[in-house]
Structure 1
Amino acid sequence: MRLVVMGTAAFTVPSLELLARGPHRVLAVYTQPPRPAGRGHKERRTAVHESALRLGLEVLTPGSLRGVEAQEIFRSHAADLAVVGAYGLLLPRPVLEAPRLGCINLHASLLPRWRGAAPIQRAIMAGDEESGVSIFQMEEGLDTGPVYAMEPVPIGPQTTAGDLHDRLAATAAAMLPGVLEGLEAGTLRAVPQPEQGVIYAHKIRKEEARLDLARDAVELDRQIRAFSPTPGSWCEARGERLLLLEAEPVDGSGEPGTVLERPLTVACGRGALRVTRVQRAGRRPMSAEELQRGFALPPGTRLG
């Protein structure tokens, strides 16, 4: 088949690389435009953009697909199918209807649970025991289309968003050949999503990264794992921001935010967190033991 691939985040890269190896033909890759990033504010290409360049594929970076010109360019590919994953731009009806078989989406949840922008993080924060990948036919609604295939992926007690992202991305790529074969043969049928169980995975807000140590240690552990590696969960320690990268809930009690013991165990509203990996502002990640050799946080210290 003649394919267009549309994606921005690294989640779509394994699928793009698989499709580029054949047997189908990738006509073009759509991704969001380069944007300033980092301390130097240099323009940075998306993960999908970089991958497409390495593969020698044509890359298009429209800021929107709502204009007539952008829609005409998209239509000119004469694609059989568009494969979309973590693209970040809404597809208007003329784009959805342009390919012969429409557009399918690779979504990192078991729909209809966790429709929306941040399904990986929200699943971990909610304490879900599994996530998964859904491949569905796109409609104008947000992740509302009928589903062609689903594959569950377990979430363990130490699973971070980074871990789950990579496993889901690999799962999506592994599912694609069978879905494309069924679509090409006309033998695959989509199943409408149930009306019950719909939950939206709202975009992560910057202020959510700050840890409220008055909360339950179990909930804080989920937050830390959900925001690892990015944006990272943080609290204040001796007047500076301290990222908590890895921790586990343990027994303990005290005024929330109080360091109870070394290497770094912190009282929470209920229970305590034993922090194992941290990062000071402008420094590299390190173990809690290494942190305390040069940045003492003795028992009784209050973190805010």
Structure 2
Amino acid sequence: MSLDDLQQQLGHRFADVSLLQQALTHRSHGQPNNERLEFLGDSVLNCVVAAMLYRHFGRIDEGDLSRLRANLVKQQSLYEIAQRLGLSQHLLLGEGELKSGGFRRPSILGDTLEAIVGAVFLDAGFEAAQAVIGTLYEPIIKTVDPRTLGKDAKTLLQEYLQGRKLPLPVYAVVATHGAAHSQVFEVECAIPKLQIQVLGSGASRRAAEQAAARGALEAAQALAPAGGRRARTRAEKAEKVDKAERTEKGERTEKVEKTERAERTDKAEGAERGARPDKAAEAPGHTVHA
């Protein structure tokens, strides 16, 4: 892929192509390299992504917006964007870095993407850099679920399983395809307890694991409604039994209380009759004269 193709993907044609070439030059290759451009691009990227989140999520507070931004500009996120752009094919690396596979290293690719943003800023100003970042990030931000606060799929799957006291998933690389500079990994995510096995693919093992975890989480959540209905049915039955027992107990208690009240009433009446004086004995005496 040529630099013309890369510029087309970015949506920006450089007036000074040497800036783009510098952005693609790692320090191991010599001077000038992309470190200063990376510094500049990092600041521009953070500013633009923050503004995009502010506009897109109008009801989220500052803390959650910060967490979302941190997730979107972290190394792994930058690396995945760099992979989609095919930056590894354009990197200028020193011989040692090249032999050690530096063109696949997430830190190098993420830094290169930031350097490109810095190069666009110097080439055409803030609005041009904003447009490039928008092209790269708008599709991503549209898929962000603010309820997850930017957590990745593996973290969400782990929390989902732990919340249900289920064993954690098992990840395994099952295949790799392609040339060294553009490999595709296939990873299986298995949750034996739920009989779930999902394959995910990506330009790195980590990306493939994330894809597999995303599929496994969706599969696990799809099983949840039926289990939820069963749980609700059991709970409803238990509640009905408990209610019936409370009613029966209440009726027995009421009968006992009625019996006790009747017995107390009888005793009281008996006591009252025993204490009342005999009328004949109380009548005044009469003397009979012959």
Bucket of the pairwise TM-score, normalised by the shorter protein? under 0.3
More contact order relative to length (CA 8 Å, sep ≥ 6): 2
The TM-score with structure 1 as length reference comes to 0.23
Structure ranking higher in helix proportion? 2
